[in-house]
Amino acid sequence: MELFEVFIRSRNGLHHKHVGSLHAPDHEVALENARDVYTRRNEGISIWVVRSKDILASNPSEQEALFEPARDKIYRHPTFYNLPDDVKNI
């Protein structure tokens, strides 16, 4: 059996969200098992299953190298720009 990760879209218009994992011999069975295990109470309207080994995850020890560069770029946020209160709808 292989390990699969399960993603569920809970409502129309929302993203699929990771909900957990399960064992299955293939994608088809993984999908059926995910239906039984993760949507017994109308938790979703769509399911994705992905082999865990096909996911490449970022390494926690590289967190700084990956995410630090974005931290000081405050000019990427609207609050960086000073406008008088009199200007409306902007």
Q: Does 3 bind other proteins (CB under 8 A)?
A: yes
- To other proteins, the closest distance from the beta carbon of 37 in angstroms equals 5
Q: Does 26 bind other proteins (CB under 8 A)?
A: yes
Q: Tokens standing for 49?
A: 């299953």
Q: Does 21 bind other proteins (CB under 8 A)?
A: yes
Residue among 11, 2, 54 at smallest CA distance from 30: 2
Residues 47 and 6: beta-carbon distance below 8 Å: yes
Residue type present at position 77: H
Binding site for other proteins (CB under 8 A): 1, 3, 19-26, 28-29, 37, 40-41, 57, 59-61
